[in-house]
Structure 1
């Protein structure tokens, strides 16, 4: 099959620059005093860590992949892991106010059942550093290692369209097409949570998720559904070349009785 265009790093960088989380806040009136909710994304430290991650992703795109993984990305990861791994808090690493408030609101609901608890959004750098390492390993075709890192990113930010897309791609490269399909199907529902992404980035990721679904569906021999997915991408991005190419590939399969 024609190779699938993965989630481009250039689009990711556009998204990274504009998505630092909001200011520090305490629990609101709907949460009891025992349930502390904190947003920490605008601290000087969080901003500096985010710059480190952005610069590291630039290094990856310049071909300095292992250097980026072993150096700045691991430095950021190690600091956050040491600080929060055994804190007892529910910790998130959201890429903006919309994500962060959703995660913390969900944590508050769980706390209200338990009667106490603390949750914190540490800002985007931690999850993005895991994503960066996963992206780097993926670029080196080291997919099992990429999977480990991307799952860590999603554990900290479960509704991130870029992290989900990257892991779906990894599953695809590992031949796990049903798992890849299920993950790609979640991406469109995450796009409105991506603060700082413009309409063009959202449309691009939406179309990529549909192409990913189409690729998986062809591998699963569900050609009618694959065709529909590629046509849905073309409805968003008319004349998108990879979708057109894959539709021709589906025609060839059908002509051969595939």
Structure 2
């Protein structure tokens, strides 16, 4: 997830549109602080701030009932179509931001196994959130688990269809780029090219995408020459 987007999330009220009490305001302030620490290159300090916050969220929502984060209005409405979604407990979206934040920070610290555990929790509780799905896809990509990464990015691209405007464009670009990168590693250059060209339609001046397309051309030339 882009850190600017995370800052926006952390600064905004999460959960039901009710007046925030002092404890909720304090939690949201800590989320914003944690994201800024990550942005400032201080992932361990962010984790130290997020650890007690995650414990606090766990204490707020006890019980065995399935828990789903109330992050976006469109997600909350769509949860009803998920298995058990109608009966799930809707919880403060800040919980998922905290889980994502710890996972993101652990990636920065190259603690990929631990990062995946927390990102998996965020995705379990917000299964329709493209940013959490893409972040988990990136973590598996860093572990060179190409197919697993691809599947998560594909879920993120599908989830992005519920978004709109510039936000949807950013979500799709990230998901399609991740899928294309995985396809290259899986030896599927044609499929990768299709996805990169879809990305280029969204961001025509994106040099990173152009570089990947050039790499595909070079790989094809090498194959012909061998």
Tell whether the structures are fold-level matches, with TM greater than 0.5.
yes
Aligned counterpart, 1:74: 51
1:65 aligns with 2:50: no
Aligned counterpart, 2:4: 10
List gaps (5 residues or longer) in structure 2.
Answer: none
* Equivalent residue in structure 1 for 2:200, among 234, 241, 255: 234
Aligned counterpart, 1:101: 77
In the alignment, is the contact (CA less than 8 A) between 1:20 and 1:47 conserved in 2?
Answer: no
Q: Alpha-carbon deviation of 1:227? A: 0.4
In the alignment, is the contact (CA less than 8 A) between 1:12 and 1:162 conserved in 2?
Answer: no
* Equivalent residue in structure 1 for 2:209, among 213, 223, 243: 243
In the alignment, is the contact (CA less than 8 A) between 2:61 and 2:91 conserved in 1?
Answer: no
Aligned counterpart, 1:37: none
Aligned counterpart, 2:26: 48
- Once residues 26 and 127 of structure 2 are traced to their aligned partners in structure 1, the CA distance between those partners, rounded to angstroms, is 23
Moved over 6 A (4+): none
- RCO greater where, 1 or 2, for CA within 8 Å and sep 6 or more? 1
1:23 aligns with 2:23: no
- Once residues 46 and 158 of structure 1 are traced to their aligned partners in structure 2, the CA distance between those partners, rounded to angstroms, is 23
| 129-138 vs 50-59, which moves further | 50-59
Larger radius of gyration: 1
Distance 1:15 1:228, change over 3 A: farther
Distance 1:217 1:90, change over 3 A: same
| 224-233 vs 73-82, which moves further | 73-82
SS across alignment from 1:92: strand
Aligned counterpart, 2:64: 88
So what's the TM-score if we normalise by structure 1? 0.78
Aligned counterpart, 1:34: none
Matched residues, number: 223
* Equivalent residue in structure 2 for 1:168, among 125, 137, 141: 137
Q: Which has the higher helix share?
A: 2
Aligned counterpart, 1:122: 91
Distance 1:177 1:235, change over 3 A: same
| 205-214 vs 9-18, which moves further | 9-18
| 141-150 vs 50-59, which moves further | 50-59
- Once residues 211 and 19 of structure 1 are traced to their aligned partners in structure 2, the CA distance between those partners, rounded to angstroms, is 31
- Once residues 256 and 128 of structure 1 are traced to their aligned partners in structure 2, the CA distance between those partners, rounded to angstroms, is 44
CA-based RMSD: 2.3
Deviations 1:124-154 (A, max 9, x none): 1111100000000011121111100100111
Distance 1:218 1:19, change over 3 A: farther
Aligned counterpart, 1:135: 104
Q: Alpha-carbon deviation of 1:21? A: 3.0
List gaps (5 residues or longer) in structure 1.
Answer: 1-6, 25-41, 113-117
In the alignment, is the contact (CA less than 8 A) between 2:102 and 2:115 conserved in 1?
Answer: yes
So what's the TM-score if we normalise by structure 2? 0.89
Q: Alpha-carbon deviation of 1:192? A: 4.8
Aligned counterpart, 1:4: none
Q: Alpha-carbon deviation of 1:99? A: 1.6
